[in-house]
Amino acid sequence: MFKLIHRDKNSKARLGMLSTAHGDVETPCFMPVGTHGTIKGLYPKDVEESGAQIMLSNTYHLFLRPGMDVIRKAGGLHKFISWEKPILTDSGGYQVFSLALLRKLSDKGVEFQSHIDGSKHFITPEDIIDIQSELGSDIIMPLDECVHYPCARAQAEIAMERTINWAKRSHNHKINLSKSAPNKAQLLFGIVQGATYEDLRNKCAKELVGIDFDGYSIGGVSVGEPSNLIYNILNLTSELLPVEKPRYAMGIGYPQDILEAVERGVDMFDCVVPTRYGRNGTAFTSAGKVKIGNSPYIKDFKPLDKECSCYTCSNFTRAYLRHLFNAQEMLGLTLLSLHNVHFFLNLAKGIREAIKVNQFREFKQDFLGRYLND
């Protein structure tokens, strides 16, 4: 469960401890994304040594490939991927609506065709809970209906009402399942939807708080809307959620957005940004982003980031990393991805240390002053 340890005296930033079956997680925390059960291009031990406390994986993708029979026979997701720390699994709702073919929604559930082989599937909110129970993840999500930006109010309201209905069914099913399932310690988070409409967000949050989930996710953000709307949604929604429960902003992953969310009282974040940018030759540094393939780095024998202690920065130069990318060597994307994951995890660590001494706003100002000056 969640324990609120300290509140920054000059902002809404919070320090907390989230206890799970596979260990405790200090918050605010950043969760590297391992959609298919792996952080792309990295060994699990390297991710752990970089400071990862928890990783995220995806129910939709794992359900389709390798399939539940394989994971079940392996003894659950932790054993299958050799990861002993906590795992959060997303329900896959966003993937169903963005990747799946010929999807049909109803209050009962969603029918879709796999984007991999075209096979047909019908899943209910109860099925999603059953799948995640078998995965054995520590934090699980209910099926929700996602909408894109911009979204008409009528469509957003239908999706919000369906999300509430599915949340109630998911919560009830987990209670019944817990009576016989071995994974009784799984934490179930509710997902607040409502697009950019404040009254819909308000209604959804109040309904979900009434159900009493173990934590609350702010969904439907960072789907194309401008930053000011994202921050408004985060501020509005976090104000509606219980102080004693963890708050998770789904898909929030750029450094400046993480800092803005923390200032608004959000505790958990995930994004594919670190490894996606790393695979494409961009490193995040304390002085801003570095596009390593650019010509100024041909004879640049400095580390990526002089303030970084990761394996990449401790052993290799910008010139060498540029060479690896231009030569299309796999090591290049691995080293940049490793650095980026370390950078985001270290950012979260710095945030926690600043909150402890009521210096979050000073930390934010100093960080952004250097990071955005690129």
Catalogue the E-assigned strands of 227-368: 247-249, 268-271, 282-285, 288-291
Place of tokens 């409502």: 194
- Report the b/e string of 219-242 with b at 16+ CB within 10 A: bbbbbebeeeebbbbbbbbbebbe
**Cβ atoms of 77 and 51 closer than 8 Å:** no
Q: Exactly one of 46, 214, 267, 270 is catalytic; name it.
A: 270
28 Cβ contact list (under 8 Å, min separation 6): 13, 14, 15, 16, 258, 262, 266, 267, 268, 269, 348, 351, 352, 355
> 104 near 120, Cβ under 8 Å?
no
Of the candidates 90, 144, 214, 305, the residue annotated as catalytic is 90
Rounded Cα distance, 331 and 323, in Å: 11
Q: Catalytic residue at 270?
A: yes
Angle (CA) 105-109-112 rounded to 5° is: 60
Cβ atoms of 282 and 289 within 8 Å: the answer is yes
**DSSP, res 333:** H
Confirm whether 69 is a catalytic residue.
Answer: no
Q: Catalytic positions, please?
A: 90, 270
